[in-house]
Structure 1
């Protein structure tokens, strides 16, 4: 087995990304069809509460259509510069445009990160430096608490084929885990700049808990994110191929000039969604 390379140099940035920029007052940039749910969800087993942000298609109130759902991590960074760490992803503006020009419409459920708890909540595996593994509990929270609420209160296509999870960095690690741990729930995963360096257990787990062969796996990273990122994602691609995951259901994309930041993830979001939900 190829030696697992740990890119610990990411850790300072990853820790910095846990805090949203709420100390500076600025106007919201979220579109009118984005809302914060008026209560926080309890994360069982962690004794924490979590805010959820919801994007509904612009025609939601006037149509009877049901929509695919994308669950996204780091909800603070998705829709609004006022809460984002280093610039929002522009998910709302991007999807509004895609709905108009391409007819692609989705519900997006943005689940906030836990600030200084983010590293632990987004990893299912213990890390000697960063401590406890809480990712399995957090994923169960999404599956058993958030998803049922969304499906019961909004017009969703709730089957596995129409349910995706997307995350970046540590969120990319958790999205990878969620696809393998809950193949009956998530049929698609957008894995942006994944922190495979955090634990070599991600490789072992992916062998022992294979994703559904129908699952679509989109892994994206920048060529300026460091040698560790390139080596780890390449190894994961090789491993999934050797496990028999169909090539047409995997896309590993290396972005020229891409760095480990919100700008890269924002620039690739539309392409990821198009590919994940293509026939």
Structure 2
């Protein structure tokens, strides 16, 4: 019994030691939710300095929540610096007041949670019959978004000083998190008015794989893209490491956007030379998607 008590104490100490800290604003960890069909995970809410003094606030939902605030607790010792960047933008009056809801990932299930689930059904039948790990993988993005929309958002709307309407509800993420952010807007256009897909992992699986997953994702986007006028979408990528695979795929998506009638400032695709596929690069340019989503002068976006 004593061994179990000691183990419990050590686990508590480890959890305290690994608790994320922010250098601007404050971070709250929400109570545990009932999860249906996806693995349990922590959810945090970042509140800017002075909250709730500028209520009502907009809400930005972000994925990979454990990578957003504190490099000392992340697996690669990098972070997005969301608290610092968001605080500076709000303090300078460049954005409307907003909070950030950070949903942690579960590394073992991340790909299945974030891959746009309905896109797989658009693979040609012959490709779906192939003995390929992707065809056998369990995809849970629909359940993940159901949790976000039906459980998490109602809790946030009821317990924080926010505007619940689509005009003040946004979503953002990088890599596979970029795919699930876009998927969220396309599946729930009545909930989210804008999405930022940063370093979007358009291959969907390993780059260079011969299964035409990227084409299936594009077919889904083309099929589900809302009519222009009520939604805004931001894409970007770097030019190094994994991001080096994205330019030709992004151009094909850009063609879909253009043909659907999207133009600046409602749609923006940015290229950042020298940026890699990592949190340091996303931190370096984080102000750009935040200004696109939440900036007070959105009419001038995309004209740089």
| Range into which the TM-score falls when normalised by the shorter chain | 0.7 to 0.9
Aligned to 1:79: 69
Match of 1:56 among 29, 32, 47: 47
Conservation of the 8 A alpha-carbon contact between 1:241 and 1:247 = no
> Does structure 2 retain, via aligned residues, the 8 Å contact 1:74–1:171?
yes
User: For residues 19 and 32 of structure 2, what CA distance do their matches in structure 1 show?
Assistant: 22
Partner SS state of residue 167, structure 1: strand
1:107 pairs, out of 82, 88, 99, with: 99
Deviations 1:48-93 (A, max 9, x none): 32211111121114x2610111000000001112332331111011
Residue in structure 1 matched with residue 158 of structure 2 by the alignment: 152
Q: CA deviation at 1:37?
A: 2.2
Q: 1:138 aligns with which of 144, 147, 164?
A: 144
Question: Among 246, 249, 257, which residue is 2:263 paired with?
Answer: 246
Uncovered stretches (5+) of structure 1, i.e. residues with no partner: 1-21
> Partner of 1:85: helix, strand, or coil?
coil
Show the counterpart of 1:179.
185
Q: CA 1:71 to 1:150, structure 2 compared with 1: closer, same or farther past 3 Å?
A: same
TM-score by length of 1: 0.84
Query: Aligned equivalents of 2:19 and 2:148: distance in 1?
Result: 29
Query: How many residues align structurally?
Result: 255
Q: CA RMSD in A?
A: 2.1
Unaligned runs of 5+ in 2: 1-13, 121-127, 205-212, 300-304
Deviation at 1:153, TM superposition (A): 0.7
- Residues 206-228 of structure 1, C-alpha deviation per residue, up to 9 Å, x if partnerless? 12212342211110100224553
Change (3 A) 1:208 1:97: same
Say if 2:290 is the partner of 1:273: yes
Q: Which has the larger radius of gyration?
A: 2
Cα distance in structure 1, aligned partners of 2:281 and 2:80: 9
When residues 248 and 64 of structure 1 are mapped into structure 2, their CA distance, relative to the original with a 3 A threshold, is closer
Give the superposition deviation at 1:26: 6.6
How do residues 1-279 of structure 1 correspond to structure 2 at under 5 angstroms? 28-31=20-23, 33-46=25-38, 48-61=39-52, 63=53, 65-86=55-76, 87-102=78-93, 104=95, 105-125=97-117, 126=120, 128-130=132-134, 131-198=137-204, 199-200=213-214, 201-213=216-228, 214-224=230-240, 225-277=242-294, 278-279=298-299
SS at match of 1:133: coil
Contact kept? 1:183, 1:212, Cα under 8 Å: no
Partners in 2 of 1:33 and 1:129 — Cα distance? 43
Distance 1:101 1:171, change over 3 A: same
Counterpart secondary structure, 2:145: helix
Instruction: Return the offset for 1:38.
Output: 4.4
Output the CA distance in 1 between the equivalents of 2:263 and 2:191.
19
- Matches of 2:103 and 2:227 in 1, distance apart? 24
